[in-house]
Structure 1
């Protein structure tokens, strides 16, 4: 029976791939929790000489600017203090995202955390701090009345979700598995090629081809 060494060459690669798959499925998956609080900005009561349409246009024109305030120390520092967070301002900023739904005067503050409670607390605290900062920095009407009103439209406990994916780690392991499989395939093909050459050399045709060379060696 003719042996097939190339078959056995693939065994180590197969074992490695199997071990890699086991490691992949055993990787810890990081769970990130999210929560969202909402603020509604509306015009204040118009003073004499101003109309509601004008003030509504003012509110709409300032929405993006007010959303950008969330990335300021004046908003984040009170959050750090109220929640007693052992983090710096940039780190907390990276856990917050403020969006303005198209055509609305709504500010949606999305927060992330390692637990659901942490995400909810951050979203609500950031919403409260942003609301105060908007009211503080927005010019009042001539008579001193607020030109806008900012109210909480929804607390974070009502909008929450979680993500349980870790694509960077899984991608790295997947790449390693692909590399192992490719290495095993190349090794198998090389070993098989050597085996076929050896078999060809000892076949009748191969022996016939080698006969003249052997005869020349004896004569020499």
Structure 2
């Protein structure tokens, strides 16, 4: 029997079925045995085991040695308002959550045609690329790739590494206030690399925000592409004075 149905792995279908059963209240507190689940969904125990591992990685299930597998309380999503002014860190703190940023890697690159257009620079202009991970109360929430003019912001990488905040790093570089010019949203399944960084299931959905931030003179300061885990972060489109920018 093929491990795929209509191009979708059987274990993923089983994971979706279990997730739905939990959401509908058909499975409460304790997960049925692997044998019972294999019979229910018409698959082997290996397939069930992989589906359970995926749901455990999401935080939906937890295994207790000698007792079985239990349904965890659904984690509350953090709320992130999208718009021109509000900052990520401020939004999290208002929810009594503890935000922090971690530098994954950085490098000096040159602007291609797309980045040059977004940042209003000449093609080939030197840029700082900053890859970062946003963590809230110990839980990875998103990963971002930001680009800054290396000529205008020569110390942005060191400033971010020390502060864990784009806002604080920009302040050190002379930009004390800024706003978001635009945000575009899409969604896709997480990549294997990002699943490792975000500590999530290999089939998790990420919401992708592509944006440009500008200073108060409307000069672009940052191009940023962020992948938010859909099951951990709720993006809210709010009125102009209640919106969001970078960490």
TM norm. shorter chain > 0.5: no
Larger Rg: 1
TM range (shorter): under 0.3
Higher strand share: 2
TM-score, normalised with respect to structure 2 = 0.23
TM-score by length of 1: 0.25
With a CA cutoff of 8 Å and minimum separation of 6, indicate the structure with the bigger relative contact order: 1
